[in-house]
A and B are shown apart, each in its own frame.
Chain A
Amino acid sequence: MADLEKETYSKQEVQDLIRAELKTVRTEYGDLKQQVNKLNDDIVIQKKDYDLLKLHMARLADHIEKRKMDGTGIGCPDREEVMREIKEVGRYIDKAIGAVIARAEKMEKLVAGYVFSEKDRLLEEITHIFEACDVQDLTAQRIKKVLELMGDQEATAKKEAKVDPDSILLEHGPQMPDEAMSQAEIDKMLKDL
């Protein structure tokens, strides 16, 4: 091996130094070309992993952002769209029931002006149409409940505008049929209180 302390080297000495260094590298790391290629492969694999990770992170960030917008934590990626659709359903029902009531009122007035054997029965049937129209109110209340749960600004603002904020505690909206008290149970409770 050439003397590394020397200040000047002959051409032969430099070649010997290089050969010696290469021999050391080969001994320690194997074939350099192979190592470089292997390193390159690793970099490619890591790049693929990195790209995949980046993609997942972007998706995750997107989900987190959508969940942050949805203050309630309900995992609904198209929350705004869902709320718009729900409101539209409410508007359709409102319009349809309004039309049904208007027709029923007209029928009632028409029937009232005639005398015929089935008049009372027909008026009773019209009353049942009116009764069934409470679907508009009950649906609207359920829609309101859903919109509040989804954090709809309009619904939340209305709730917050209550004269007595404590009254919110007593507002549950329509109960599920199997959870609601019946009229008979309510009558009994009122009587017993």
Chain B
Amino acid sequence: MKINPLDFVLVVDDSASMVRIVANIITKVGYKNIDTANSGNEGLSLVRNTSYKLILSDWNMEPMTGLQLLQSVRKMQGAPTANDVPFVLITAESKPENIIAAKQAGVSGYIVKPFTAETLLEKIEGL
């Protein structure tokens, strides 16, 4: 994926620390327009109003999980964000059934926590 610093990126995680960590790391590859959401519902609401070129989301959130956010994004019609936007799940869930479910939902990348800045940047560049 060619990184355009002006692209809008959405980071979704119910952990305020994780949002700051991920946002901080992606600024290192030049992203300047980073929006953050603390829940799946908030993320979905942002996606319906802004044209994001990349979404990085946690899985384990309530009441809407990251997987459900992904499924909702993929079904979206007519929203500013394209329904095929690169969507990366960053999660502690690392069972094969999770990988399968994520793949079936149309995930673009899957990063298991704990992760390094290098892994995150490598995955974004490889999208």
Report if A and B associate in a common complex.
yes
Interface residues of A (CB under 8 A from B): 94, 97-98, 101, 105, 108, 127-128, 130-131, 133-138, 140-141, 158-159, 161-164, 167, 170-175, 180-183, 186-187, 189-190, 193
CB contacts (< 8 Å) of A164 on chain B: these are 65, 68
Given A171-B93, A172-B95; A161-B115 close (CB under 8 Å): no
- Nearest residue (CB) in A for B114 is A134
Distance in Å from the Cβ of B58 to the closest Cβ of chain A? 8
Interface string of B21-55 (1 = CB under 8 A from A): 10011001000000000001000000000000000
What's the dominant secondary structure at chain B's contact region? mixed
Place the interface of chain B in its size category: 35 or more
Q: Per DSSP, are chain A's interface residues mostly helix, strand or loop, or mixed?
A: helix
> Would B115 and A134 count as touching, CB distance under 8 A?
yes
Output the nearest chain A residue to B64 by Cβ-Cβ distance: A163
A181 and B17 form a contact (CB under 8 A): no
Q: Is B103 within 8 A of A133, CB to CB?
A: no
Q: Is the CB of B62 within 8 A of A161?
A: yes
CA distance A190 to B59 in the complex (A): 16
Q: Closest Cβ of chain B: how far from A112's Cβ, in Å?
A: 11
Q: In the assembled complex, which residues on chain A have CB atoms less than 8 Å from the CB atom of B114?
A: 131, 134-135, 138
Q: A133–B94 contact, CB under 8 A?
A: no
A193 proximity list for chain B (CB < 8 A) = 99-100, 103
User: Which B48-98 residues have a C-beta within 8 angstroms of A?
Assistant: 58-60, 62-65, 67-68, 92-98
> A101–B17 contact, CB under 8 A?
yes
Contacting A127 at CB < 8 Å: which of B25, B59, B60, B107? B25
Q: Could you list 19 A-B pairs, sorted by A, with CB under 8 Å?
A: A98-B17, A127-B117, A130-B24, A131-B21, A131-B116, A137-B15, A159-B62, A163-B40, A163-B63, A164-B68, A167-B67, A170-B65, A171-B65, A171-B93, A181-B99, A182-B112, A183-B119, A189-B96, A193-B103
State the CA gap A181–B112 with chains docked (Å): 8
The residue from B68, B97, B99, B119 contacting A190, defined by CB atoms under 8 A apart: B99
In the complex, the chain A residue whose C-beta lies closest to that of B111 is A183
Bound state CA distance, A20 and B103, in angstroms?
A: 102
Given contacts A127-B117, A172-B93, 16 further A-B contacts (CB under 8 A): A94-B17, A97-B17, A127-B24, A128-B117, A136-B15, A137-B15, A137-B58, A137-B92, A137-B113, A162-B63, A163-B64, A170-B101, A172-B98, A173-B93, A180-B112, A181-B94
By Cβ-Cβ distance, the 4 closest A-B pairs, closest first, are A174-B92, A137-B15, A136-B17, A181-B94
B62 near A190 (CB under 8 angstroms)? no
Distance, CA A162 to CA B59, complexed state (A): 12
Task: Please determine whether B95 and A175 come into contact, CB atoms closer than 8 angstroms.
Answer: yes
Is the beta-carbon distance between A133 and B21 smaller than 8 angstroms?
A: yes
| A105 and B112 contact, CB distance less than 8 A | no
Shortest distance from the beta carbon of B15 to any chain A beta carbon, whole Å: 4
Complex contacts, B62 vs chain A, CB 8 Å: 158-159, 161-162
Tell me the complex Cα distance, A91–B95, Å. Answer: 28
